[in-house]
Amino acid sequence: VKLQESGGGSVQAGGSLRLSCAASEYSFVISGYCMAWFRQAPGKEREEVASIFSDGRAYYEDSVDGRFTISKDDAASTLYLEMNSLRPEDTATYYCAGTSGVQWHCPNESGGFRYWGQGTQVTVAS
């Protein structure tokens, strides 16, 4: 399994970016999986930003709710994160992650995700 993020970059506050995560050897067709976006800023712990279950149920961290949208293209095995109204505090390396096996819901902590991408940098200037 390989997860490859893309779409990061530098933007001004208030701007938008769309992150993509292309999955290889990871099925988006079967039920019972969860995909998520995490981020880690320098000197801070990795935090979950948003997750989406195989049935489409989505979860958002409070600070991004209403600004970010997680989605997936099952046919293309690709996960997305649409980020609008970006703030300087959104600056971080963003990682996509996926679970293995059959899940009943998305894990509530990062240890529940087996597969991780290498990350893509998002920098928001004030």
The rounded mean pLDDT for the chain is 96
33-89 pLDDT per residue, tens: 999 999 999 999 999 999 999 999 999 999 999 999 999 999 999 999 999 999 999
**pLDDT score recorded for residue 29:** 82
Q: 55: which residues sit within 8 A by CB, 6+ positions away? A: 31
Q: Is residue 30's pLDDT more than 90?
A: no
**pLDDT score recorded for residue 27:** 85
Tell me which H or E stretch contains 35: strand 34-40
**Comparing C-alpha atoms, which of 110, 90, 91, 86 is closest to residue 36?**
110
**Comparing C-alpha atoms, which of 31, 95, 33, 86 is closest to residue 63?**
86
User: In this structure, which amino acid lies at residue 112?
Assistant: G
